[in-house]
Amino acid sequence: MTYDDLRSRIEEIIDPGFNLPFKDVNGIKKLVIGPTGVAELEIYLKDKAKNEQAVKIQIIRLVKIELGFPGIKIEFFESEFVPEGQKAIKYLAVASGKGGVGKSTVAANLAAAMIRQGKIVGIIDADIYGASIPYILRLPIKPLTSTADEKMIPLEQNGIHVISTEFFMPPEKPIMWRGPMLGKLLTHFFNGVQWHEGIDLIIIDLPPGTGDVALDVKTYAPTSKVIVVTTPHHNASSIAVKAGLGAQQIGHEVIGVVENMSYYFNECNKKREFIFGQGGGELVAKKLGTTLLGQIPIGQPQQGHFLFDGKEESGKIYNEIAVKLIDEMNL
Ligand SMILES: Nc1ncnc2c1ncn2[C@@H]1O[C@H](COP(=O)(O)OP(=O)(O)OP(=O)(O)O)[C@@H](O)[C@H]1O
Ligand SMILES: [Mg+2]
C-alpha cells in the first residue's frame, strides 16, 4: 500500500455535508505516513459538528482494518470549500472585553445600516446567557420552522434574519439550565440554519470577554472577521485590547474598532460632552493594528423606533461604518 494508494482511497470517501467525494472538495488538509507507519490525517469536513463522528469511523475502518495500517491519527476542521456557483457565507463577529459596552446594539444597528446599503444580512445571537438581539429588535418569538433537510429557518425583523438561543427557551427558565444545552445548540447555528440564499453577511453577536464562544467561532466560522466594540473609557478599552488580541491569537483578522458611547451631544450649547472620557477607540485600534471605524454618540433612536434610521446622526455614522465594512469585506 503506497502513499498514493492510501490518498486515492481516502479521496473517494464522501463528505456528507457536500455529498461529494473529498477529492472534489479539497477535503484532505494533511496526509503523511509517519516513521512507524501511522497514518496522520487532517480532514476538512462540511458541517463538522454533525458529520465528524460518522466520517471518522468510516476512515478508521478503511485505514486500519481494510488497508492494515498500524495506527491512525485524525483531526477534523470545518471545510472552507465553496462549490462552484455557490456563494461563501461571510461572517463578522462583534466582540468586546467588557460587557455592556453596546455590542448587541452595534450588531443590530450595523445590520440595519448594511440593509440600507442593499445587503442581505443575518445575525447569529451567540450570547447564550444574555441573548438580547430578539429584544433589541422587538422580535416576536415564535416556534421556528425548518426545511425538508431539517435546517432551521431564521426569524426576521426589519429585514434582519435572526437566529438566537432565546428562540429555544421557555421564557422563565432559570439560567443554570441553559449553559450546557444551549452551548451545543450554538454549534448548529453555524451549519444547521437555512439562511436566505442571497445572504451577504452574517453578524455574530458575541458574549463579552474572550471565552469558549470565541473559540467556537474559530472552529465553525474559521474565516470570520472580527470587529471590537469599546467605550472611550480606559477600563473598557484596556480589556477590549485583550479581547482583540485573543481573537488575533486564534487566527481571526480584526478589521476595525467601533467606539460606542463616545460623547453626549448637548443640544443646549451644541457641544460634545465626553462623559466617559476620550481616546479609548483610538487606543484599541492602534494596539490591534487596525482602524477606528466610527464613534457613536450616547443616545437612543427616535421615539417609537428601536433602531436608528439612516437620517439620524447615529444612523449616519452606522451608514459610514457599514460602507467601510462592505468595502473591506468585499460584500
Ligand atoms: N450609544 C448608546 N447610547 C445610549 N445607550 C446605549 C448606547 N449603546 C448601547 N446602549 C445601551 O447600553 C446597554 C447595553 O448595550 P448592549 O446590550 O448593546 O451591550 P452589550 O455589549 O451587548 O452587552 P452584553 O455584554 O451584556 O452583551 C443597553 O441598554 C443599550 O440600549
Ligand atoms: Mg450583548
Judged by phi (left if over 0) then psi (alpha if -120 to 50, else beta), residue 5 lies in: alpha
Give me 322's grid cell.
457599514
Spacing, Cα 250 to ligand 1 middle (Å): 26
Distance between CA 229 and CA 96 in Å, rounded? 5
What pLDDT score was predicted for residue 315? 98
Q: State in Å: Cα 284 to ligand 2 middle.
A: 19
For 229-247, b where at least 16 C-beta lie within 10 A, e where not — what string? Answer: bbbbbeebbbbbbebbebb
Q: Distance between CA atoms of 260 and 317, rounded to whole angstroms?
A: 11
Asked whether 94 and 106 are in contact (CB, 8 A), the reply is yes
Q: Give the pLDDT confidence of 137-178 residue by residue, as tens digits.
A: 999 988 889 988 888 999 999 999 999 988 887 666 655 555
Query: What are the structural domains of the chain?
Result: 3-78 (3.30.300), 91-328 (3.40.50.300)
Q: Is 312's pLDDT higher than 80?
A: yes
How many angstroms is it from 15 CA to the middle of ligand 2?
Answer: 36
Mutate to test the pocket of ligand 1, among 96, 98, 105, 166 (most ligand atoms within 8 A of CB): 105
What are the pocket residues of ligand 1 if the criterion is a CB atom closer than 6 Å to any ligand atom?
96, 99-105, 127, 130, 132, 207-208, 260-261, 296, 298-300
Q: What is the C-alpha separation between 132 and 310, in angstroms, rounded?
A: 22
106 torsion bin: left (phi>0), alpha (psi -120 to 50), beta (else): alpha
Cβ within 8 Å of residue 111, ≥6 positions away: 121, 122, 123, 160, 203
236-250 pLDDT, tens per residue? Answer: 899 999 999 999 999
How high is the pLDDT of residue 258?
A: 98
Angle at CA 40, nearest 5°, toward 38 and 43? 150
Read off the pTM: 0.87
Query: Cell 449616519 belongs to which residue?
Result: 316
Closest atom, ligand 1, to C-alpha of 108: 18
Tens of pLDDT, residues 81-108: 988 888 889 999 999 988 999 999 999 9
Q: Which of 195, 207, 194 is nearest to 121 (CA)?
A: 195
Mean per-residue pLDDT over the chain, rounded: 92
Categorize the per-residue pLDDT at 261 as very low, low, confident or very high, splitting at 50, 70 and 90.
Answer: very high
